[in-house]
Amino acid sequence: MIENQNRSEVSNVEVEHRDIQKKSDSSMVASTFIKYAAYIIIFFGFLYFLVKYVFPKF
């Protein structure tokens, strides 16, 4: 009888499920994209300056 009672207690336990969703802030993504795009533009601008003005002097 005790064994049967333990089984019914275990089978009546409700399991709570939680869905964790990662929230992405679109403004943060946009600002990061703009920042790295600016880095790339500055880098290529510096390379253009080197090729156009500095290297011809050698």
Domain contains 2? no
Cα separation, 45 vs 51, whole angstroms? 10
Domain contains 7? no
Domain contains 56? yes
Rg over alpha carbons for the chain, rounded to the nearest Å, is: 32
What domain range is 38 assigned to?
29-58
Domain contains 47? yes
Number of folded domains that form the chain? 1
| pTM for the structure as a whole | 0.55
Domain contains 20? no
Token digits of residue 56: 């011809």
57 pLDDT higher than 60? yes
Q: What is the DSSP letter of 13?
A: P
Domain contains 3? no
Tens digits of per-residue pLDDT, 36-48? 999 999 999 999 9
pLDDT band at 31 (very low <50, low <70, confident <90, very high): very high
Q: Residue 23 phi/psi, 5° resolution? A: -90, 130
Domain contains 8? no
Cα separation, 54 vs 58, whole angstroms? 8
Domain contains 36? yes
